[in-house]
Amino acid sequence: MKSSEVALQAEIKQNLVIVNDDAAVLASLKLDLGALAAHMAGFGSHQDALHYCQESAQKNPPAVVICGLRKPALAGCSLLQDIKQRFPLCHAILLSSGEDSAANIQQNVKEGELAYVDSYLAQPWSTDELLRHVKQVLAALPQSFPHSLPRADDRAFHGIITHSQNMFDIFKCIRRLATNNVPIFICGETGTGKELIAKACHHESARREQPFVAVNCANFTESLMESQLFGHKKGAFTGAVNDQPGLFCSAKKGTLFLDEVTTIPINLQSKLLRVIQEREFTPVGSHHAETFHAQIITASSKTLKQAVDDGEFREDLFYRLNIIFIHLPPLRDRGDDITLIAQYYLAKFSAESNKEFKRLSGPEVKQLANYAWPGNIRQLENFIHCLVILNDGPDISEQMMSEAFRLIEGGAEPHASQKKKNHLHGPERAITPLWLMEKAHIEKAIEACHGNVYRAAALLEISPSTIYRKQQSWKLSP
């Protein structure tokens, strides 16, 4: 980055927006808050304030909005709701009018009618009280404030695009977690963006300059899993020709993200429990413990409680990892996000392919909304990518949409081994590819164990991680 760009960034102050329909009160508020190290803008109407926030979004989105309309609190909340929907990371402060007592506001908050209000001051509030409160809010907010939400080419909260209140609540939770170093568990269906949420937790924290190390535990080789996690010393086992640091060492003072943590074998879970309790680990072949400083974030497509009930996870480790629980909603429960994310990927893949597709219109949006998206955001991304690659645009027809749906649902060209089978003749056609027989046998074992992968693995005399790896490979095969 050039020095002039650094200097320009340093000059940008946090954007403080004040809204009050009483001109005298507005002038007084601007004067009283003028000592703050923030850029200040004042407005007397809902529309003017919202227009300003939208115009300034790219250069300096609002960090704090103070609303003090003389109308009832719910009218003020209407403005804050509009702003928060567009800028979920800004802090919304409601100043009550004389007719809104603290008790009334508290009751509205309790009933969920003031869901978009982060904090409020009820009458009688003083200038000193307001100044002190805004100072604390500005100090707690990041100095480099993210851009607004979202057009197809915008990025929202650390790359997560949304209009969903469910997601806004998660963002607020992540920001509150930023100053803590406690285990976080993220649960959500495949493709909901668990790693993105883990990265957001990392970037919101004081550890953002330290490494973010992510690994899918289902991809571990069971015999080497301990070494991969904790590292090993030279000569610890056959093939250990050098000292090798593990993931716990590589994370340093940053964040270690363990995806599909429920696939870690029971015997290794006890060692992971000790690491979390004692904040230290011992590499394989070593007699000296090393201190562990990083934050642990874990994730799984099933809850830890369900894994405990299924006999796949230690209950004591459950209590250590499940301190902060974040549940990611599936895409089908995120309303307009389906269209929003689809528009984003349409623009992205059109640019990458040098094509000019028009924005999705009513019929296409309806088709997208009516689909369940079992693979969530990852499946929607693949769908739009397929749509762009197979067609030239600029219009999108119903036939294009239907063909893309057919392909993502498994109607594409058959697996290579299956195509080879189609060209065989006579007795050879009766031979089923080995991978299909293996797939059928493993799925039958899992079904017999009522979905318990660990029990199925034990019956098949293979590791659970082997099953998970094979399941991932099957997903790539229509």
**What integer is the mean pLDDT of 221-236?**
74
- Give, to the nearest 10 degrees, the angle between helix 362-369 and helix 337-352: 120
| One-letter amino acid for residue 243 of the chain | D
Structure tokens at 358: 């028009």
What confidence score (pLDDT) does residue 73 get? Answer: 44
The DSSP secondary structure of 245-259, one letter per residue, reads --HHHHTTTSEEEEE
The conformation of residue 124, written as its DSSP 8-state character, comes to S
Q: How confident is the model over 171-207, as pLDDT tens digits?
A: 888 888 877 788 899 999 888 999 999 999 998 888 8
What confidence score (pLDDT) does residue 417 get? Answer: 42
What confidence score (pLDDT) does residue 456 get? Answer: 76
Cα 335 to its chain centre, rounded Å, is 16
The lowest-confidence range among 114-123, 219-228, 293-302, 352-361 is 114-123
- List all residues 6 or more positions away from 429 whose beta carbon is below 8 Å from its beta carbon: 421
54-72: b (≥16 Cβ within 10 Å) or e? bebbeeebbbbbbbbbeee
- Is residue 94 scored above 70 in pLDDT? yes
What is the band of 54 on the pLDDT scale with cuts at 50, 70, 90? Answer: confident
What is the band of 223 on the pLDDT scale with cuts at 50, 70, 90? Answer: low
Three-class DSSP labels, 334-392: CCCHHHHHHHHHHHHHHHHCCCCCCCCCHHHHHHHHCCCCCCHHHHHHHHHHHHHHHCC
Round to the nearest angstrom and report the end-to-end CA distance of the chain: 46
* Assigned CATH for 416-475: 1.10.10
pTM, rounded to two decimals: 0.56
Distance CA 449, CA 441 (A): 13
Q: How confident is the model over 292-304, as pLDDT tens digits?
A: 888 899 999 888 8
What confidence score (pLDDT) does residue 439 get? Answer: 80
Distance CA 124, CA 102 (A): 9
Tell which wins on pLDDT, 350 or 425.
350
Whether the CA torsion 367, 369, 374, 378 is positive or negative: it is: positive
* Assigned CATH for 165-327: 3.40.50.300
Q: How confident is the model over 309-345, as pLDDT tens digits?
A: 888 889 999 988 988 899 999 998 888 888 888 888 8
Distance CA 391, CA 397 (A): 10
Q: What backbone phi and psi angles, to 5 degrees, belong to 244?
A: -135, 120
150 close to 347: Cβ distance less than 8 angstroms = no
- How many residues appear in the chain? 478
Sheet holding 184-187, edge to edge: 212-216, 255-259, 295-300, 184-187, 324-327
Whether the CA torsion 459, 465, 469, 474 is positive or negative: it is: positive
Q: What backbone phi and psi angles, to 5 degrees, belong to 326?
A: -120, 120
What is the band of 478 on the pLDDT scale with cuts at 50, 70, 90? Answer: very low
What confidence score (pLDDT) does residue 108 get? Answer: 55
Distance CA 446, CA 210 (A): 40
* Domain chopping of the chain, boundaries: 14-140, 165-327, 331-411, 416-475
Q: Do the domains 416-475 and 331-411 match in fold?
A: no
Distance CA 198, CA 101 (A): 40
Tell which wins on pLDDT, 258 or 468.
258
Distance CA 88, CA 90 (A): 6
* Assigned CATH for 14-140: 3.40.50.2300
Whether the CA torsion 218, 175, 274, 245 is positive or negative: it is: positive
- DSSP three-state, residue 178: coil
The lowest-confidence range among 54-63, 128-137, 435-444 is 54-63
Structure tokens at 16: 């403080």
**What integer is the mean pLDDT of 71-75?**
49
- List all residues 6 or more positions away from 196 whose beta carbon is below 8 Å from its beta carbon: 158, 159, 160
Structure tokens at 477: 């095969």
201 close to 255: Cβ distance less than 8 angstroms = yes
90 close to 63: Cβ distance less than 8 angstroms = yes
- Is residue 27 scored above 50 in pLDDT? yes
Pairing outcome for strands 280-281 and 290-291: antiparallel
* Assigned CATH for 331-411: 1.10.8.60
The lowest-confidence range among 4-8, 373-377, 397-401, 445-449 is 4-8
147-174: b (≥16 Cβ within 10 Å) or e? bbbbebeeebbbebbbbbbebbebbbeb
Q: How confident is the model over 277-296, as pLDDT tens digits?
A: 888 877 777 777 778 888 89
What confidence score (pLDDT) does residue 74 get? Answer: 47
The alpha-carbon radius of gyration of the chain (Å, integer) is 27
